[in-house]
Structure 1
Amino acid sequence: MVSSSTEESASDGQNSSGDPTESSSKSLFSEGEKVLAYHGPRIYEAKVQKAELRKNEWRYFVHYLGWSKNWDEWVGMDRLMKYNEENILKQQALDKKVGVDKSTKSGRSTQTKPKSSADAKVDKEEVKNNVGKGKKRKADSGTEKDNPAAEKLIKIQIPPTLKKQLVDDWEFITQQDKLVKLPRSPCVDDVFTKYLEYISKKDGLMTDAVGEILNGLRCYFDKALPLILLYEKEHQQYQDMISESIFPSSIYGAEHLLRLFVKLPELLAHVNIEEETLIRLQQKLLEFLKFLQKNESTFFLARYDGTIVTEGGSKRKDD
């Protein structure tokens, strides 16, 4: 899966019946039915709004409950499960695995810190050595070998200067109590637009593949940011800036986008993508990172000077 629009062909390797997906003249899901839907590494509650038989295969237009209509999309039945007790337990087990607090609404409210949170206390050398390798932390109940997805992690080689950017990012926030002042300009959406313009001028044409990959990155960024990309000191700032009608990609900039590339191998490991497609995707992601590196002075802040909100609600400005 590389984008919201192309995710309908992706699969976690399961379907609603537990058997391989087969074309059928009878739809397994009806319009208006509440279902559970795979999206990236998680399962969300959704509602089937439309059901259509296309090329002897049923497709469903779903709305993710609690999320903006901008996330509505067409999916195949391999992405859907019946809303029943058995499948709800599957959802809860998966949420527990990725460290999501189910008492919150779609990850938008204050939540317990995920095990894979960027808020882990690491020193400079650990950041330099591990960033971009896509290593997943061992869960309390098992080891990395217990996770089949870990065997197919793609490698995203982050350029050295961007690795330093990640270290500086960690230092500003965790050691100096500074934040990225929001909203950022250019924001993530602006960076993607500039990259499309760059590719268009460079290659003389615009391929749909690049646009789909950028849409996918935007989708992952918007959903992953509150769950695994923020440091603890940034949570209050997120709550103050983001609402149902505002997406993180229009508020945050390259500093937070770069963090996504550290977590992306883990996220993509949960998606059923052919090896050949993964290789092409890996190359495209590297090209984008090189673009960020080339324009580092334009996209990244030299220093952070955002406002810190303390637990008592008071604010102070870092020098």
Structure 2
Amino acid sequence: MVSTRGHKYKFMDGEKVLCYEPDPNKARVLYDSKVLEVCEGKDKRGRLNGKIEYLIHFQGWNSSWDRKVGEDFILKDTEENRQLQKELAEKSKLHQGTYLYRKERKKQREKSLTARIESLTGHGALKGPSLSEEGSSCSNGFSRDESEFQVDGPAASIDVDTEYYSNSSSVESNHEEDKVYLQVGDKLKKFLEFDYRMISEGTLTEIPVKLPIVTILENFVRHYTIRQLFDLGQEQAKMRRRNSLFQKGDQKTKDYEAIRTNVELCKEVADGLRLYFDFTLKDYLLYPQERQQAELVLSDEYL
């Protein structure tokens, strides 16, 4: 039996650290993290085996993402390790082949995106809650009820695709590979227009939101799993009506294994989106006013 008495842990409960992504299939990056608990490993008989693990909470995500990792996954929160974190993040983003992370083009992209948004929302036809009429409900700049969302008038029928292609000629030819063509549905288009108008008037979303991104992703996986099982049940019921001997034994097992594989793939997609939001939210997915709010919420005192 290996004794851990008097053992000095490298990291302590409550310590703010940097932690590598624990999933070996994901990009090797460092997260802002916090040590929740020091855990001493035990063998099958319940005896201490000298193995030390740390329960880690990743900043900005709920407790369902907490993980136990070994010392080799954790680094002290130092300037040198912060620089390593930055380098790994940039390397990972470039490795993914997405133009969003090329620093030398950041300013031009932001300017182009801002111009396109303004061209779509500059018609003055959005009708949301007025700041002058609603009074103090928006005065602190941190409160907005999404249930008040309302869009009317010509702006509701603006064709984003048409505007995008009409402006695309202004982009220099050497940045041709930077273009990403997206089809935006009418409902999302209206909400983006409304959201831009509200933020430009100083009305930010109340933090924390009732339904964070990680919860949406978890609900997506849960819904997908339920839907897969439901569809299989429906199909089996139809086949049973045709043949009472249908799906006995190996075939049913194969069907459930196929569902298991699909659900695992769905979880991988959701986890990939989680990583995407984690690394692009503050730099690329928020307006300048929202970035200030995010920096406050994600500061050390809120960890």
Q: TM-score, normalised by structure 2?
A: 0.37
Q: Tell me which of the two structures has the higher relative contact order, counting C-alpha pairs closer than 8 angstroms and 6 or more residues apart.
A: 1
As a proportion of its length, which structure holds more helix?
2
Q: TM-score, normalised by structure 1?
A: 0.35
User: Which has the larger Rg?
Assistant: 2
